Amino acid sequence: MSLPTPSSETAPAFPESPVSLAELRARAAELGLDVGAALAVPGEEGERYRRWVADGFAGAMDYMVRTLEVRADPRVLLPGARSVVVVAFPYGDGQRRDRPPPGSARIARYARSKEYHGVLLDRVRKLRRVFEDPLARAFVDTGPVLEKAWARRAGLGWVGKHTHLVSRSLGSWFHLGVIVTRREVEASEPHSDHCGRCTRCLDACPTGAIRPDRPFRLDARLCISYLTIELRGPIPEADRPLLGEWVFGCDLCVEACPWNRFAVAARDHRLAAEAVAPGWTPEALLDLDTGAFEATFRGTPVKRAGRAGLLRNAAVVLGNRRDPSAVPRLARVLREEPDALVRGHAAWALGRIGGDGARSALRAAAAQEADPEARREVLGALGAGGLSSP
């Protein structure tokens, strides 16, 4: 197979000699990274990605659609690219499953540490120096590259039926970083697949985002991670009960994977620390004003959901619990919360919980709610579960 050549004669020079895997691994090990490399030629993954987007599985994640062509071929991203180098960096405590304190809302494991982009990107950029390619691009999570597909080709693991990467030595609790370079790098052996007949992750998914009859394909529109983080605006009513206890992300399919008995703990304390306290209850989240939200979640992935998104999710979790003790808190939200999205979801939660207190809070809201969407939620909640009856 012939390697692509730089498209511009004016592009800055870089050494022509290949980088060996041994040299790459030695430098990566100094930085605490597992590493592998692949030739920067498009594979079948690009076509699979096109089909996934065409089927609408990306939902409202427009950036995934806009970057389709770049994602399918790293040479569009960097003309003359010859190699894609991928690193893996563990996070969390290395346990297969989380054990959240009673009453707390669930937050995905990766989001309970400091912002990982900066922590990992710093190491990836240091590793990039090995290539002496001034145009080499480094990404952590936000780049238009199919990280998991490249990680498989670079020998770091395989893409499991839940669509996450799985490693025999790391499990799945790790972040990926990618470097695209014009330098030739000795390629690793692609990883073989070790899912076999197992379907535990597919069976564990409560929403049907991944299903036994459709392994290796994620319908992001149904995934709790998408619903709680990426989706702006109201969560479709039919999906709300499926959120269960999750206020940010979801780890159920990853926790189900038996390969996570080989998971390892974070190698950087910033990714091991529970910067976001594990004991956040949904009630306490509903009390966060803008300043408190910023102060609490600045520098953590949770900030991505935004205050309104996180409080919306907290209200849904309380509705799912159907615990009458949450009624006074939700009634206060209905009266005082400035964001109509949160008020609307608090109304839904009150409708689910029911009882006299919920009914009188909803009636008061029906008399004063001016936002059309929140009002629709209030009236819908009054009609739910017999709440409209005297």
Instruction: Enumerate the active-site residues.
Output: 141
Amino acid at 322: R
Distance CA 350, CA 330 (A): 7
CB of 50 to ligand SF4, least distance (A): 21
Q: Rounded to whole angstroms, how far apart are CA atoms 335 and 36? A: 55
Our CB check for ligand SF4 shows the closer of 319 and 354 to be: 319
Q: Cα(183)–Cα(83) distance, rounded to whole angstroms?
A: 6
Which one, 86 or 166, has the nearer CB to ligand SF4?
166
User: What span, in angstroms and rounded, lies between the C-alpha atoms of 225 and 243?
Assistant: 9
Min separation Cβ 187 and ligand SF4, Å: 25
| Closest CB 63 distance from ligand SF4, rounded Å | 19
What is the C-alpha separation between 233 and 42, in angstroms, rounded?
36
Least separation in angstroms between residue 166's CB and ligand SF4 is 5
Q: Cα 256 from chain centroid?
A: 17
CB of 263 to ligand SF4, least distance (A): 12
Instruction: List contacts with ligand SF4 (CB under 6 A).
Output: 160-162, 166, 195, 198-201, 204-205, 207, 209-210, 218, 223-225, 250, 252-253, 256-257, 259
- Say which amino acid occupies 128: R
| Bridge partners (DSSP) listed for residue 385 | none
Neighbour-count burial of 16, counting CB atoms closer than 10 A to its CB (0-12 exposed, 13-18 middle, 19+ buried): exposed
Which secondary structure element, helix H or strand E, spans residue 177, and what is its range? strand 174-181
- Closest C-alpha to 131, from 88, 180, 78, 76: 180
Handedness of CA 361, 364, 367, 372 (dihedral sign): negative
Q: Are 282 and 314 in contact (CB under 8 A)?
A: yes
Nearer to ligand SF4, 250 or 330 (CB): 250
Pairing of strands 174-181, 83-90: antiparallel
Q: Which residue is nearest to ligand SF4 (CB)?
A: 160
Residue closer to ligand SF4 by CB (options 131, 246) is 246
**CB burial class (10 A; 0-12, 13-18, 19+) of residue 108?**
buried
Q: Which is nearer to ligand SF4, 207 or 296 (CB)?
A: 207
Specify whether the CB–CB gap between 76 and 69 falls below 8 A.
yes
Residue closer to ligand SF4, measured from CB, 117 or 200: 200
Q: Which is nearer to ligand SF4, 75 or 200 (CB)?
A: 200
Question: Nearest distance from residue 58's CB to ligand SF4, in Å?
Answer: 14
Q: Minimum distance between the CB of residue 225 and ligand SF4, rounded to whole angstroms?
A: 5
Which ranges constitute the DSSP H helices of 89-220? Answer: 116-128, 147-153, 200-204
Crossing angle (nearest 10°) for helices 327-336 and 340-353: 150
Q: What angle do CA 116, 290, 316 make, to 5 degrees?
A: 80
